[in-house]
Amino acid sequence: MELMKTLTELVSAFGPAGDEGEVSRVIEKLAAPYVDEISRDVMGNLICHKRGTGPKVMFAAHMDTIGLVVTHIGEDGYVHVGPLGGIRPAEALHTPVRFKNGAKGVICADAEADVSKLKSADLLIDLGASSREEAEKLVRVGDAAVFDLPAARAGDRVISPYLDNRAGCLVLLLAMERIGQTDNDLYFVFTAQEEVGTRGARTAAWTVDPDYGIAVDVTPTDDEPGAKHRVTSVCGGGAAVKVMDSTVICQPQMVEKLMCLAGEKSIRAQRDVIRRGGSDGGPIHLSRGGVYTGGISIPCRYAHSPAALVDLNDVKACAELAAAFAESKLEKEC
């Protein structure tokens, strides 16, 4: 699997929270050669199962993205929108967007608006329409828009919208490709609606009922300009092994297991602590009677902006670590 080609295909697929069908079909095609069965649930989670007789392991990477949803179309043709997930208005301003039907526009705001105090409610989309009637031929209330920018490579690094969390989806696909012989019963779940409250992971974890859960997502970095050391991972530092975020404190034995595997397999790794923000690990570890839960994260600069950045070497390290855990000797109790 060629990294850049696959990642470009993933980030190009339409899939805002609640409408993940297109990206789900792309992932299904890529995953099919490596698993025994693929299914979907009511929430839209894509569940890829590689059968085994041992403990049940659920890897989760959310496939949905943030976006904007049409709330009103003005008489002047400008489209009023609301957020799907954590949109940062000032960063989104003047970014090209596209809708599922192919309509395109650009995010704008009132010329008198104070950009430093901009709120999601201040954002509009300019479709190039001069009237409501013209705009209504292009979009409807309830339609969702996503950033419409290409992925670009900068040395070993990639700059692209929606690396949160299409980079995590790539990690699971690469891990599937790498996994050799194992008795573990493996579920690779590409979850829906993470950006609006980790909703898909909640139902998927209940259905799969795993013994172990691994959330694969991006994590903020401590090497952006002016970093305040509120997080611990750095871009290029390898796979970030989750210790905690605001939704989960990973069991120490899970952290130790992942760090030991990284050492044994000579996989570059670092510890991941963030004070704010969560992942699918939150609902997974609370499912039913509780699940031994860890996290493998890709350090990502400028997440939720139209131009995030990750290091492809970190992506590879995360895939190697996920595969190592999938192949490892596991017990019903950690």
Distance from C-alpha of 293 to C-alpha of 248, rounded to nearest angstrom: 8
Tens-digit pLDDT profile for residues 178-214: 999 999 999 999 999 999 999 999 999 999 999 999 9
For residues 18 and 57, state if they share a domain: yes
Q: What CATH number is associated with residue 89?
A: 2.40.30.40
Nearest in space to 108 (alpha carbons), one of 132, 75, 81: 81
Crossing angle of helices 163-178 and 21-31, in 10° steps, is 20
Which region, left, alpha or beta, applies to residue 148 given φ > 0 means left and ψ of -120 to 50 means alpha? Answer: beta
What per-residue confidence (pLDDT) applies to 117? Answer: 86
- Model confidence pTM above 0.85: yes
Indicate whether 267 belongs to any domain: yes
- Token representation of residue 63: 């496939």
79 φ, ψ to 5°? -105, 120
Tens-digit pLDDT profile for residues 253-300: 999 999 999 999 999 999 999 989 999 999 999 999 999 999 999 999
- Positive or negative torsion for Cα 177, 183, 188, 194: negative
Distance from C-alpha of 131 to C-alpha of 73, rounded to nearest angstrom: 9
Indicate whether 333 belongs to any domain: no
For residues 71 and 112, state if they share a domain: yes
For residues 61 and 72, state if they share a domain: no
Q: What CATH number is associated with residue 250?
A: 3.40.630.10
For tokens 């490579």, name the residue.
153
Indicate whether 156 belongs to any domain: no
What per-residue confidence (pLDDT) applies to 334? Answer: 62
Cα 234–chain centre separation: 18
The total number of structural domains that make up the chain: 2
Confidence check: pLDDT of 332 > 80:
no
What value does the mean pLDDT of the chain take? 96
For residues 323 and 186, state if they share a domain: yes
Distance from C-alpha of 50 to C-alpha of 37, rounded to nearest angstrom: 7
Indicate whether 104 belongs to any domain: yes
Question: Structural domain of residue 129, as residue ranges?
Answer: 67-147
For residues 47 and 186, state if they share a domain: yes
For residues 286 and 208, state if they share a domain: yes
Residues 6 or more apart whose CB falls under 8 angstroms from that of 297 comprise: 216, 217, 218, 219, 233, 239, 240, 241, 242, 272, 279, 318
For residues 188 and 275, state if they share a domain: yes
Q: Domain boundary at 119, 147, 175, which? A: 147
What per-residue confidence (pLDDT) applies to 253? Answer: 97
For residues 41 and 87, state if they share a domain: no
Q: Domain boundary at 147, 172, 206, which? A: 147
Residues known to be catalytic? 194
For residues 47 and 81, state if they share a domain: no
Residues 6 or more apart whose CB falls under 8 angstroms from that of 179 comprise: 34, 50, 186, 323, 326, 327
Distances (CA, A) of 124 to 120, 137, 189: 9, 17, 34
